[in-house]
Chain A
């Protein structure tokens, strides 16, 4: 019987169909003696072919009376009638079909090639599997949540499109001993992922790889070697709170709790904070927030809502020198900076420009110094304390000056008073 001619690299991997009960012969395909009914057999049955290859098939009719003609028979593929010139009558009871340059299968259960009688009734069917063998999976990445499990993700080769059902199997073993194990919980974080929930050893390397198999062949990824301790991540820091810093209009205080799951594992966490203005998509990142659970954001806009998130990297577990894997960001927490109470511009001859207190040369230099300090030491508590005191003093002094101006007092006197710097500075 003519069969498909797959490409050179193809195997005619004809998986045996699942066993069916004899009752199927009553459904399709079994001739019934004396009934006058016709049935047929298509060959080949359920072939597997490479994309671009050709197929030669036949439909052989059995019927009562014998010698039933093949004239009038026709083919459909996925419900569409095939052009008559693709078919030819081989003999009285056999109709042949020739298809060239086959496209990939439309559905993973196979393309439906059907042989019809003249009246359109179905005589027989065969399912074609046209596709590509799998390519090597790559880009395997793994992480362990709190050192209790391992989740891995990979990219299928050739972007995964083989047009055939392709099975991916994640395998792992201890590097120097032990047998191959197969991951069992798939699709946990996307279509190409697997989760190993337990029984993992620490302080010893694992080898991990992915095997892809379909009807046309198989492929294996490169082996990834890792120690669980080097790919640890945690849950995001819980209980993130953002609050104002008194009346300071350009600062917010951020506090959080270190992830409790790793508290027994002797690690030094480092944190990152990111924040953005409410109606912006641009995040600003505060790096190197090392091993502390609070930080103050400065240089913010007054009267503005900010969204803040924190994440954690558990490095230094059991003395490891390697960085861990950053956790997910915490849920966004929002807070607003206080709105400035200073009067707008144009309020009078002595109104500070831009609402700032009037400044002499000393003040200007002090302001520049503190601005530099703020920029280069976000989380320097000492600097902030002093800066806060200075700012609070400045604002208080400014309020007092405005009150006197309202009552008609001389702003110059207040300005002179404001030349006096805070003691601790």
Chain B
């Protein structure tokens, strides 16, 4: 089949056009996105602690780092896993983060209603986590790896309606934990994609 036949938009239709450049471009693009979101996640965390007051943000402040809705920080052995499995874990974590970020934004809208930049950053973070998660899933699909597919969001909204009287301080701690997990997972995603970028670290 000559190069004139087939569609440039569908590399699979023409076996003489390798899908590899398309995949590489996609990995490169997603890696760039993850790098940008890592910076934003760091800014979000700094903005968050400023508005909660001390001891949030003080060196040595360490509330319990327990799982949130089944979402933990990347495990120490994460880096040693195969690439596809790492990206699957990244995509899974990124899909759990948006509803948690939404909960934190609603709490902060009550606690810090004048902190417009913080509220905007939380809203953006939820949207960006979804976008990065979808991009990672696209890379996984292009690699031929199994993707998780659309996951039902955790029943956070339903649980929120249960109206537990946990208090303002636990809400602040939850927000800190969620913002921290968001930063850790986008940073982890950036690292995992960086290993797939041609010329990147093996």
Contacts and interface: CB of A to CB of B under 8 A. Distances in A.
Interface stretch (A121-129, A316-324, A342-350): A121-129
B169 A24 contact: no
Interface string B131-165: 00000000000000000000000001001111111
Interface string A68-82: 000000001011100
Interface stretch (B24-32, B78-86, B104-112): B104-112
Given A24-B170, A79-B61, A108 B114 contact: yes
A165 interface: yes
Interface in A9-47: 16-29, 45-46
Interface stretch (A109-117, A250-258, A388-396): A109-117
B164 A25 contact: yes
A24 B104 CA distance: 12
B69 interface: yes
Given A18-B110, A22-B159, A127-B172, A109 B167 contact: no
Nearest to A46: B168
Contacts of A124: 169
Contacts of B64: 27-28, 121-122
B67 interface: yes
Contacts of B174: 20, 24, 27
A340 interface: no
B40 interface: no
A67 to B, nearest CB: 22
Contact of A109 (B61, B62, B111, B156): B111
Interface residues of B, number: 41
B130 interface: no
B170 A125 contact: yes
A126 B56 CA distance: 13
B46 interface: no
Contacts of B63: 27-28, 122
Interface stretch (B47-55, B120-128, B189-197): B47-55
A114 B55 contact: yes
A238 B145 CA distance: 65
Given A17-B168, A24-B166, A109 B52 contact: yes
Interface string B94-114: 000000000100110011111
A106 interface: yes
A45 B54 contact: no
Q: Which of A17, A22, A26, A79 is packed against the most chain B CB atoms within 10 Å? A: A17
A108 B166 contact: no
22 contacts: A17-B166, A17-B171, A20-B163, A20-B171, A22-B162, A24-B166, A25-B164, A28-B66, A28-B173, A29-B166, A46-B167, A79-B55, A79-B61, A107-B52, A109-B111, A110-B53, A110-B111, A110-B168, A112-B53, A113-B169, A126-B168, A127-B172
